[in-house]
Structure 1
Amino acid sequence: MKKVILYILLLGIVAVIGFFIWFFAFYLQVPALNIPKDASPTERVTQIDNWLEQLHTERKFNGGVLITKEGIPLLAKTYGFTNASRNIQLTNKSSFRLASVSKQFTASGIMLLKERNQLDYDDLVSIYIPEFPYKRVTIRHLLNQTSGVPDAYMSLAEKNKDSINILTNRIAVDLLIENHPKIDFIPNEKYQYSNTNYILLARIIEIISNQSFEDFMSEQIFTPLGMKTTRVWNLLSKDKTFKDKTDGFEDMAGEVREIKPNFIDGVAGDGAVFSSIEDFVIWDQFWYQNDLISSENLKEAFKKPTLNNGKKSNYGFGWVILNEDTVMHNGVWLAANSYFVRNTKKKTSFVLLDNSSNLFFNKIIENLK
């Protein structure tokens, strides 16, 4: 009897090992995108399109792609479905959750207030939030992710979730003030990515504008720019859904399940922006020139901050600065994957969006670089 049990256990172990070998060696792989070096731009786009179609057929991509040159789309297309039911096709107007790519939108709201002389980047946060316990932290520190403010809003919310219906920016900031976790480092000592920094920025926008972050962004940024399929949306929004919205879902080895927001998803600023392939054409051009923010002010977003020790960091205002010509940001939340990169020298941009909790997302990006 013991031999039988041992044999069954060994079979189980072999099966588990076999699954992991299959999962990492085969399932997680994507076919290589082999584009000849002498391929014309048209040929390159065609091959990328065909490759993404193949990935979608293999259920390894469900989303949209945008490739532009000098503001003109070379490839703007979606592949797949808007939600877990897989019965509504994506279009170029489909609005995807951008997750942390939302941070550059939040930064644009702060920049607009600066343009209107309603704040300065080097103002102390405590000017706008008097109870704010980290007295040396400025708005610029928040933008540049150099504040030292602990990235604690999610953990504080979890500890207090029994008394919270839906987390808001105000509640998140109040929790930070009430609990006052120790600062991680002296402001501007180093770079440390923090969602809490951008919740604070969104809260400052709300306080100065006397509007919700959602209404401010809609009325002051998206509508003037003509971005018709871009908005802030979360559990606090008046409408429970909206036209062209995509919903996140997990598609693992053919098994599909919906990924729903939870009580934390009433905040915005670190995320909560939804946008489409169509509107990203406008958003890319916004960062070159627009009627809302001066060219001189726009340059602030792409300056590498100088730290206290004289070294440079590489996070601007909602942008990771790769070099003097290239900036990018990515995001992951509630099954959404997003990636946006711009090369200002070549005047090119690349956007990849997916609403299917895609384990292959980074591999796809690597092939497309």
Structure 2
Amino acid sequence: MKLIWKIIIAVVIFGILAFGVASIWAFNEMSKIDELVISENDSLTEKVEKTDKWLAKLQKDNKFNGAVLLIKNDSVLLKNTYGFTDYTRKEKLTPQSSFRLASVSKQFTGVGIMLLKEQGKLNFDDAITNYLPALPYEKVTIRNLLTHTSGIPDAYMDFPKKYKKEIGSALTIPMMVELLAKENLPLENNPNEVHSYNNTGYVLLAAIIESVSGKSFEEFMQTELFDKLGMKNTRVWNLLSKEKTFPNKTWSFENILGDVVELKPGVLDGIAGDGGVFSSIDDFIIWNQFWYDNQLLSKTTMEEAFKETVLNDGTVINYGFGWSIFGKDAHAHNGSWLGARTSFARNTKLKNAIVVLDNSASMNVNSIVKQLVKVLK
């Protein structure tokens, strides 16, 4: 999230310097939404109807383009889409439309590691050099990568500038590991000393999955997770995938008050693990249920995902395996990459869930989630 806020701040500063007051006005308009007005006397049906109309208006006002899933007490209240699959705005979204999840992908990568643990092929506290021996980080464990406590510099997004010829059109997972080993960067701090959000660490987790399974990250996740769960519109996809597209795929764009621009994948989009998963709200019903009970992971292994992290000095960090943790019963994660703006939040005690998926670079997803909480009260 630190990177996201740096980007937002940079955009604001650039707007002030280059375009003046008009840009500040546009920025404010894009990030301002009307309140969802719900009365205490409204029936649940009335609340959902008002929410559906509110979301439709946000889409019409160019402030949201995506899909929303609301689950209350384990029952689906709202499952609908608002807008279009790409920048041409010709094809309408459906509940089967597959959105780039950005960093919400991290929980799927975490489950990939958990599956290998369940199969007896690794342990969470193994050194990562057992599986990636070229790296100079003997004291870093798989658990450190999962919880963002490795101390490894989050460096991979800088590699395309430094290694343009070596990388070519797309950085790959094996190439990222190779370049990280070549850089031989020292740890920024000792493992489990500091919690610092780290995309490089989750790409390394994908590399470990490839090393242990002997399959590509994309193939492993497809055969060992998505196919077994019946998630028909969920997959890993990037510039290295055999298919240039796939059924129900959405494409990223930016919508600035009706001025629409296509956002194309770039050199970093050969990478996965920190992102790279696409999914639909139909499949998120399955994915939400997965965390209550499934045939792939034991309860003991699943519980590891929601354990808070305790640093060396005893400080407790509210992050598990691809999840931010809010007390015993609530956890969530957001994502942002290209036009993807995504959020998945759950309360296991109430059996509630909110999924918001956007492919138009909306600045309002977090605000939308906060408003949607009203429907579940």
Q: TM-score, normalised by structure 1?
A: 0.93
Deviation at 1:25, TM superposition (A): 4.9
What is the number of equivalent residue pairs in this alignment?
356
State the Cα distance separating 1:70 from its structure 2 match.
3.7
**1:201: Cα distance to partner?**
0.3
Matched letter for residue 199 of structure 1: V
Look up the match of 2:215.
Answer: 211
Return 64-73 or 320-329, whichever deviates more. 64-73
Alpha-carbon distance in structure 2 between the residues aligned to 1:366 and 1:209: 40
1:362 aligns with 2:366: yes
Amino acid of the residue matched to residue 135 of structure 2?
Answer: F
Deviation of 1:130 after TM superposition, in Å, equals 1.2
Percent identity of paired positions between Structure 1 and Structure 2: 51
Instruction: Tell whether the 8 Å contact from 1:71 to 1:284 is kept in structure 2 after alignment.
Output: no
Corresponding position of 2:150: 147
Partner of 1:89: 92
2:196 corresponds in structure 1 to: 192
Letter in 2 for 1:354: D
Does 1:332 find its partner at 2:329?
no
Change (3 A) 1:285 1:135: same
Letter aligned with residue 242 of structure 1: F
Name the residue aligned to 2:322.
Answer: 318
Partner of 1:99: 102
Alignment pair present for 1:57 and 2:64: no
8 A Cα contact 2:154 2:200, kept in partner: yes
Distance 1:219 1:52, change over 3 A: same
2:248 to 244, 250, 257: 244
CA RMSD of aligned residues (A): 1.5
**1:112 and 2:115 are equivalent in the alignment:** yes
Which residue of the other structure, out of 140, 154, 159, is the alignment partner of 1:137? Answer: 140
Whole-angstrom distance in 2 between the partners of 1:41 and 1:142: 42
Closer, same or farther in 2 for the Cα pair 1:218/1:26, shift >3 Å?
closer
Aligned-pair CA distance for 1:180: 1.4
Provide the secondary structure at the position in 1 that maps to 2:94. Answer: coil
- Runs of 5+ unmatched residues, structure 2: 1-15
Separation in 1, partners of 2:281, 2:71: 11
Aligned to 1:264, what secondary structure does the other structure show? helix
Contact 2:332/2:344 (<8 A) preserved = yes
Quote how far apart the aligned CAs of 1:365 are: 2.4
| 1:80 alignment counterpart | 83
Which residue of the partner structure matches residue 39 of structure 2? 36
Alpha-carbon distance change, 225 to 21 in structure 1, aligned in 2, over 3 angstroms: closer
What is the CA distance between 1:237 and its match in structure 2?
0.2
**Matching of residues 19-34 of structure 1 within 5 Å:** 19-20=22-23, 22-34=25-37
What is the distance in 2 between the residues matched to 1:163 and 1:98?
28
Separation in 2, partners of 1:299, 1:70: 21
User: What is the CA–CA distance in structure 1 between the aligned matches of 2:272 and 2:22, rounded to whole Å?
Assistant: 39
Distance in 2 (alpha carbons) for counterparts of 1:205 and 1:230: 18
Distance 1:168 1:27 in 2: 34
Would the aligned equivalents of 1:157 and 1:175 in 2 still touch at CA under 8 Å?
no
CA drift at 1:21: 5.5
Contact 1:301 1:319 in 2 (8 A): yes
Q: What is the CA–CA distance in structure 1 between the aligned matches of 2:327 and 2:149, rounded to whole Å? A: 19
Q: Secondary structure at the match of 1:316?
A: coil
- CA–CA distance in 1 between the matches of 2:207 and 2:338? 22
Aligned match for 2:187, one of 177, 183, 207? 183
Q: Which has the larger radius of gyration?
A: 1
Aligned to 1:173: 177
Query: Alpha-carbon deviation of 1:199?
Result: 0.3
Q: C-alpha distance in 1, partners of 2:87/2:30?
A: 21
